[in-house]
Each structure stands twice: as structure tokens, then as C-alpha cells.
Amino acid sequence: MTPGSVDDPVRALREAIAAARGILIVTGAGVSAESGVPTFRGEGGLWKRRRVEDLATPGAFRRDPRTVWEWYAERREAIGRCTPNAAHRAIAALLLRRSDVTVVTQNVDGLHDRAIIEAGEELPHPRLIHLHGSLFTLRCVSCPWQEPHSAAPIDPSSEVSLPRCPACGAMARPGVVWFGEPLPEAALREASIAATAAELCLVVGTSAVVYPAASIPQVAVEAGARLAEFNPSPTPLTPLATWIFRQAAGKILPYIIHEVE
């Protein structure tokens, strides 16, 4: 395929981005892979080494809060040393440049937020939607207390050293959505509204197997959006894609997005 030819997907997608009214970008763990954050299901995936049922569920936390906190403390520590990559920066640049762009992320690593801060903007960004919460928020298991908790390391060495709610003294937990838990209503609603309004949906680095997040790009396509998939591997969304880029997001996305006003 010669670049610039009619069937050149890069040129076609650039033109579609320039012409679109309403762009939805849905991201998963793959967008953070080049930042050194392990994905969940690929080779070397996080879940591979650990059984999801043992860790990312309310039951697991009730049964063994120390082990669950050990896993989350390890991830917070590792991700705290990672930085946004070129894909996060390109997505942040498009989000900040165009008021009709919405980013819906399943990621809890905060790297989209950090790319927005690096671009000199404030948080929270109204059009960056977190479907599964954040590793860097703590919340109480029994009262409404929650707060951002980026720096302080968690000491999971004993039940006594685990974080407690300052308001009621109950156990504090990671501010993420576990399996079997509902997603934040407002986030899911805003994501669905953005999906129905989008003319273009870019899906970046997700295996599209976790619901209801995986239904968001499908809602966009059913409402008439064209879909571009950025993933080295095929996913259940591949059959819906108009454009497919089997490269690492950090390589191809800046090349496509930066050229488009």
C-alpha cells in the first residue's frame, strides 16, 4: 500500500479525524504497555501470575485484605515509577485541542491524567472518564470517605498496618471497580452519551472482554460511528473496525493524531 494512495488507512483515518464531529477514544491496558505497565491478559499479563478471583473481587478483600493490598501496593509502587508514553501524550493533545473529543479509559494507572498535567492542564478533565476507578484513590469499605492517595506507600505487612478510613476507622480499600461490582453510574452514563454522539471511535489497547466497558465501542458503532482498532492482536471488536492498526499504540497513534488539526 503506497502512502497517500486512496486505500492508505493512515491518510484515510487522518481525514476522518479532521472531518468528524465527535470522537470517542476508548483505552485499555495496552495503551500503557509502552510505559512499562504490565497488561492483564497478554503474555506476561498481570492476571497470568495471579488468579483474578484471588485478588480483584470484594470477596477476596473480605477474606484476605492483606494479600489484596499486597498486590495493589506492588502495582501502585511499580506504576508510580512509570511515565506516560507517546500514545498517552498524543491522546491528551487531541483531547485538549478539540472540545468534541472524549476519552473513556478502563485503566486505573492514572497515566492519561499525568499526560494531561504534563500538557499544562488541570485535573480532573471533564472529558476524561475513568470506568474502573484509580489505583491512586483510597476509599472506605463502609462510609462515603474517599480521597486521592498517590504518594504514601501502603504497608501490607500486617492487618494493623493496612490503611484505615480516617472518618470511621473501618478498612480502606483501593478506589477501583472489582469484578462483580457496578461501575460508577455517572462515568458509565457519560461514556454511553459520548458513544452515541461520536462519529468516530478509536479503540486503543484493549482486549474488549471486560463488560460493560467493552460495550461502549459497540454502542458507538450501533449509533453510526466508524471504528479504528489500535492493537497488535485481533479482538472481538475487530469485525466492527473500518481501520485496523496492528502496531504498538505508542508508535502509530502519534503519527496519525499529531498531523491532524
Could you list the residues that contact Zn ion (CB under 5 A)?
A: 140, 143, 145, 165, 167-168, 170
Planar angle of CA 32, 243, 10, nearest 5 degrees: 85
Question: How many angstroms separate the CA atoms of 64 and 153, rounded?
Answer: 19
Active site residue 149: no
Contacts to ligand BV8 from residues 108-147, by CB under 6 A: 108, 132
For 172, list phi and psi in degrees, rounded to 5.
-100, 150
Beta pairing, strands 133-140 & 172-176? antiparallel
Question: How many angstroms separate the CA atoms of 235 and 240, rounded?
Answer: 10
232 binds, among ligand BV8, Zn ion, none (CB under 5 to 8 A by kind): ligand BV8
Question: How many angstroms separate the CA atoms of 44 and 2, rounded?
Answer: 35
42 binds, among ligand BV8, Zn ion, none (CB under 5 to 8 A by kind): ligand BV8
Q: Mark residues 220-239: x for contact with ligand BV8 by CB under 6 A, - for none.
A: ----------xxxx-x----
Place of cell 461502549: 216
Q: Coil, helix or strand for 162?
A: coil
Among the listed residues 88, 112, 125, 132, the single catalytic one is: 132
107 binds, among Zn ion, ligand BV8, none (CB under 5 to 8 A by kind): ligand BV8
Q: Which of 177, 198, 221, 225 binds ligand BV8 (CB under 6 A)?
A: 177
Distance of CA 10 to the CA centre of its chain: 24
Give the bridge partners for 200, in sequence order. 23, 226
Q: Which of 20, 23, 188, 249 binds ligand BV8 (CB under 6 A)?
A: 249
Contacts to ligand BV8 from residues 26-45, by CB under 6 A: 28-30, 33-34, 39-42, 45
For residue 12, the minimal CB distance to ligand BV8 (Å) is 20
Distance of CA 28 to the CA centre of its chain: 4
85 binds, among Zn ion, ligand BV8, none (CB under 5 to 8 A by kind): none
128 contact partners, CB below 8 Å, separation of at least 6: 95, 102, 103, 105, 112, 113, 116
Residue number with CB closer to Zn ion (28 or 65): 65
187 binds, among ligand BV8, Zn ion, none (CB under 5 to 8 A by kind): none
Q: Between helices 111-118 and 86-97, what is the axis angle to 10°?
A: 60
| Residue of this chain nearest to ligand BV8 (CB atom) | 30
- Residues recognised as catalytic: 132
Site residues, ligand BV8 (CB under 6 A): 28-30, 33-34, 39-42, 45, 56, 106-108, 132, 176-182, 205-207, 209-212, 230-233, 235, 248-249
